[in-house]
Amino acid sequence: MRKIDTVPPYLLGLRLTGRRVVVVGGGRVAQRRVPSLVAAGADLMLVSPEVTPSLEDLITGGQVRWERRPYATGDCAGAWLVQACTDDPKVNAAVAAEADERQTWCVRADDAEASAAWTPATALVGETSVGVLAGGDPRRAAGIRDAVADGLRDASIESRHSRHKPVGVALVGGGPGDPGLITVRGRRLLALADVVVTDRLAPRLLLDELANDVEVIDAAKIPYGRSATQERINELLVEHARQGRFVVRLKGGDPFVFGRGAEEVLHCARHGVPVTVVPGITSAVAVPSAAGIPVTHRGVSQEFHVVSAHLAPDASGSTVDWAALGRSRGTLILLMAVERMTLIAAALMRYGRSPDTPVAVIQDGTLPGQRALTATLDTVVDEMTAQDVRPPAIVVVGDVVDVAREVDLMRADMGQGP
């Protein structure tokens, strides 16, 4: 085998918007290459007798033009870039030869040595593009690419004092509790913060990763205990942002799901402070999932309702239609319901839910101390009292609870752990 030329390649970022690109081949290699070419805005023509389902989806959507036939001489005409991706070396060689004759760069997927150009292992992190070539070794290139991209995502290789540092406020959903469940973008912005205003339910372990000079402000809202008013939290965001500091408002779950995130955005907007909203994984869905409970299941439940139960069903300020929820057969996911489950269970049964309806209660979901109990609508309050359930806990009402039980029984029969 001949050794690949040791002369280093010249790296170049191609701006392909509106420019003709030809891909020959419709298999797995093309399936990997085509989406990035589409994302780059290329006027893309695909030549192949057959294509994978994923490529067909792009074709049907009008993002790729498909010539449903084998490669023919002349297909490279007018192209700025050609990719030879068939599983036939002779066809790839012919495509490369035509492209070379037309002075068009061509990437041969099957033979790095014979290829006029190489496709780097790439990643896009925010506005930063990462491209890595490793002497024709794609696995090594991918490994280096991943390491660099991870460093950019968690900001471990980007200074908080960089000229690309964000401004204003970032409203970041931290997820249901497990620090590994924050989004990549949320973690990156958190690492760039000058000030972090954090909630009680935000992933606390993430705070240990912050630099020593980051100011952490505890804005906890502890049920029946100490809490910062929402008005004061709003003021803090604007005060620090106006001092030129990048502020991350770190919340549990998703900031727009019972998180008062929109109130904070509105307050910042009124004072001219830019806000970036980073969605988070809501505990309403993630915590039941962590306990093995699907919120929907074919043939069981085609709908689910997420309810804030911080007000009792008969409270004058409640906007929840408990009568409709009682009549519904969909899954109910109740947040902030621990202190009011006696009234809630009674209301649901009064409005039509069967006393035998399965119920699950998950405390400290996704965290090491997660624990769950199962009961029925008429026994759940007694079970919660017996097991001393405390907030934060999520209550799931509906037949989907039995799906998790069925899975557990199957695992037990097969000698598998939970």
Q: Would the CA dihedral through 387, 392, 397, 401 be positive or negative?
A: negative
Nearest by Cα to 188 from 217, 163, 157: 157
Cα–Cα distance for residue pair 344/349, rounded to 1 Å = 9
Tell me the average pLDDT across 44-57. Answer: 95
Q: Is the pLDDT of residue 404 over 60?
A: yes
Residue 1 has pLDDT above 70, yes or no: no
In this predicted structure, which of 18-27, 102-111, 156-165, 335-344 has the lowest mean pLDDT? 156-165
In the residue annotation, 221 being an active-site residue is answered as yes
Instruction: Flag whether pLDDT at 44 surpasses 80.
Output: yes
- Check: CB of residue 362 under 8 Å from CB of residue 393: yes
| Nearest one of 363, 400, 205, 366 to 281, comparing CA atoms | 366
Tell which wins on pLDDT, 418 or 79: 79
Tens digits of per-residue pLDDT, 368-379?
A: 999 999 999 999
164 within domain boundaries:
no
Asked if the model's pLDDT at residue 233 lies above 50, the reply is yes
| Residue tagged active-site, from 194, 199, 254, 364 | 199
**Co-location of 254 and 294 in the same domain:** no
Most distant pair of Cα atoms in the chain: their distance: 81
Q: In terms of residue numbers, what domain contains 174? A: 169-280
**What's residue 163's pLDDT?**
54
Q: Which of 303, 344, 340, 296 is nearest to 322 (CA)?
A: 344
Of 348, 418, 342, 347, which Cα lies nearest the Cα of 383? 342
Q: Are residues 208 and 314 in the same domain?
A: no
**One-letter identity of residue 252:** G
Which of 221, 321, 378, 399 is the catalytic position?
Answer: 221
Are residues 290 and 216 located together in one domain of the fold? Answer: no
The pLDDT of residue 184 is 87
**Helix or strand or coil: residue 128?**
strand
Mean pLDDT of the chain: 91
Look at residue 333 and give its three-state secondary structure: strand
Q: What is the pLDDT of residues 161-185, one digit of tens each?
A: 555 678 999 999 999 999 999 998 8
CA–CA distance, 76 with 106 (Å, rounded to integer): 10
Q: Model confidence at 415, in pLDDT bands (50, 70, 90)? A: low
Would you say residue 334 has pLDDT above 50? yes
- Examine residue 242 and state whether it is found in any structural domain, yes or no: yes
* Domain identity same for 300 and 402: yes
Residue 251 a catalytic site member:
no
306-317: average pLDDT? 93
Q: Which of 41-50, 183-192, 237-246 has the lowest mean pLDDT?
A: 183-192
Residues 274 and 296 in one domain: no
* CATH number where 300 lies: 3.30.950.10
